[in-house]
Structure formats: C-alpha cells, structure tokens
Amino acid sequence: MSKQTLDRILQSQGFGTRKRCQQFIHAGAVTIGGEVVRDERLAIAPEGLEFTLDGEVWTYRKHVYIALHKPANYECSRKPSHHPGVLSLLPDPFRLRDVQPVGRLDHDTTGMLLLSDDGAFIHTQSSPKHHVPKIYIATTHEPVTAGLLELLLSGVQLHDEPAPLAAVHCRMMDEHQLEIILEQGKYHQVKRMLAAAGNHCVALHRAVIGSLTLDSLGLGEGQWCYLDEAQRALLAPAAL
C-alpha cells in the first residue's frame, strides 16, 4: 500500500475533516511508536499502522467489520426516530467513516447485528440472492405445535409477497419457543410468518449468521467487536 500523509490517514479513519485532523496533530495529540508526531505531512504506509490519539490506541483499517450484540429498544438506522440508534453504541469515528448496519433488526429484536463501511460486504450479506442463512430464536404467545412447525416449513403466504415464504429449518425449543432459519431477510419476516401461521411473536433474537454464532463472540448486550478474516469467512452462505 502506498504511503499517505498522516492527516489523510486520520481523516480516513473517521477522526473528522482534514483540517480537524491537522489540529489534532499540531496539538500533540497523536503519537506513533510512543513518539509525538506534529507533522501532518509525514508520509506513512498505513497498512498495520498503530497510533494513539488523545491517549486511545487505534490500528489503521481500510474497512471495518463489526459484530454488535444489539439490545432491545435500539433502531438500526443512521437517523433514528423513536429510539436511540445502534451507532450510538459504537465509538464516534465509526459514524464519521460511514459505518452502517448490514440489514436491520426491529427495535425490539435483540442479537447479532453486523456493521461495516465496505459496500461489497454489505451487499453480499444483505442480498437474498446470496442465501446467507440466519438463525433466530422466537418466543411465541401461543404454544409451539407440530402443526405450526409444519406450516413454517411448507411456507406461509404474506399479503405483500407473490409466493409463500418458507423456513429453511425450524424446531421446537420449548413450549413457547422455537428456532427458525431463514435466508430471505424480508421486512419483519419472522413475526409476519408466525402471524400468518396463527401465532404471535412476543420476543425475537438473532443468534447466528452463516455459521458465526453470537455466543462464540462472547459479547454482552450492547458490546461489539471487530471481526477478523476467519470470523468473516464463517458468514459465507456455504458455511452452514
């Protein structure tokens, strides 16, 4: 990777305008290798660069790939209207570098949410054409029955869909809870499918995307982590 000036590197990482990044540098807020750097024109190869800004350590990343354990009552929107946005759970630089949710979870749905500033990654993960399976745990108002599971597997008709939508797999977990695997990612799909099958979803949690499990990341509600290359590979459709 070709060298870039320090102010442009900081700007690319979401620390503000180029002028604002120059101000950080001139104020002595940036250190590299333990040394304060005050020259914004210093040319550096950014790949793997570790630097400190205002005492916080950062590593240069061309793109960021993030998994968040989304709590309830957060909106997956850059411009939330009724609840806080999920981006408020992340450091400020992520918002400035245009990190955005990959698809959406309803405000009351919990579980794994991916976020990135890599458009190709976002498209692959959110497009139904790529058949990325997602596993949800749904809590129901009425008991889970064999008939309900059969309907979900065979397909239910939603009023705005041209053809019935079917689960890839589903199984009963307890009397009022089931696991369901979907690939389509339609709007409110799990809730609407359960309603079309004669039940009602009272709580919903996304536990797995591809074959990457939320449990394997060890995240509590509201916590996030970077995804490394091996973890991102588990998000591939063929991984399940």
Q: Which of 54, 98, 106, 117 is catalytic?
A: 106
CA angle 50, 121, 189 (to 5 degrees): 130
The SS3 assignment for 194 reads: helix
The answer to whether residues 156 and 193 touch, using CB atoms and an 8 Å cutoff, is: yes
Name the residue with tokens 């405000």.
107
Residue entry with tokens 């399940």: 240
Query: CA 48, CA 13: separation in Å to the nearest integer?
Result: 13
By three-state DSSP, how is residue 70 classified?
strand
Beta carbons of 129 and 223 less than 8 angstroms apart: no
According to DSSP H, which parts of the chain are helical? 6-12, 18-26, 92-96, 119-126, 146-154, 189-196, 214-217, 229-233
Residue 21 CB contacts under 8 Å (≥ 6 apart), including other chains: 6, 7, 8, 10, 11, 15, 40
121-124 contacts: CB < 8 A, separation 24 or more?
A: 121/63, 121/65, 121/232
Catalytic residue flag (residue 7): no
CA distances from 37 to 17, 25, 42, 47, 102 (A): 18, 7, 8, 18, 36
The catalytic residue positions are: 106
